[in-house]
Amino acid sequence: MYLTRFRFNAARTGARRLLTSPQMLHAAVLSSFPEPPGTPDGGPRVLWRVDHNAASEILLYVTSPDRPDLTHLVEQAGWPAAAPQGWATYDYSTFLTGLSTDSVWAFRLTANPVHSIRRKEGEPTKRTAHRTAGYQLQWLLKQQERGGFAIAEKAAERRLLKHGDEYQVMVGGARGLAFTKSTDGQRRPVTIATVSYQGRLRVTDADVFRRMLVSGLGKAKAYGCGLMTLAPVV
């Protein structure tokens, strides 16, 4: 497995075009591999995420079973004249192997928190996005067991008198993605609501956690959701 980081040149037209089209960016990411990557059910797959850290710092993260070549992204949306190559790829497998149960990490995740509802008796269920921070947090908490992690809790004296404040996590950065998708020769509108999570977690099952990191968490993985990255707690 590999972890790759690429920085967009937000002043370029190509970068702005990719950043406003999840379909185009998805295609650009997949074009980084000589052979079209598969999407195994529950297995390692290509995941990507865009972090808008500042107006001048927009980063693309990609995890993948194979090493990518982002030359086309550098030429279209980066700094082609910059040395040495415009992106950085790291060995992710060694890091994954070293993860252990009960270790604590800072994490960052962009996800598509949804639930299924039925408006009327007898109607099929419909996938609907959670719109409030409270429900978005509850969605993440429901992923803990199947993801092999537990969100760290705050010390009692640091908690405010409101539901959800007991956890060391921030929920924000809500973004709406709207585009059309061709299915069976017909184009239909697609809307995806994404949310960013940042906080601390404890690994409860290292094997399950590793599988989650390489297969993604939640829905809309093809459109920049589901990739969790970790950093040491400082």
Q: Give DSSP secondary structure letters for 99-123.
A: --TT-EEEEEEEE--EEEE-SSTTS
**Last-in-domain residue among 97, 125, 143:** 97
Q: Average per-residue pLDDT in the chain?
A: 89
Same domain, 21 and 59: yes
Residue-level pLDDT at 117: 64
pLDDT, mean of residues 87-98: 96
Q: How far apart (Å, rounded) are the C-alpha atoms in residues 7 and 143?
A: 30
pLDDT digits (tens, 9 = 90+) for 154-212: 887 777 666 667 899 999 887 777 777 767 777 777 778 899 999 999 999 999 999 99
Question: Tens digit of pLDDT for each residue in 211-222?
Answer: 999 999 999 999
- Residue 127: pLDDT above 70? no
pLDDT value for 192: 83
CATH of the domain at 40: 3.30.70.1200
**Under 8 Å between Cβ of 69 and 190:** no
Q: Which of 85-89, 106-110, 124-128, 219-223 has the highest mean pLDDT?
A: 106-110
Residue at a domain's end among 81, 97, 113? 97
Residue 179 sits in a domain whose CATH number is 3.30.70.1210
pLDDT at res. 163: 61
Length of the chain as a residue count: 234
Tell me the residue range of the domain where 216 lies.
Answer: 104-232
116 and 61 in a common domain: no
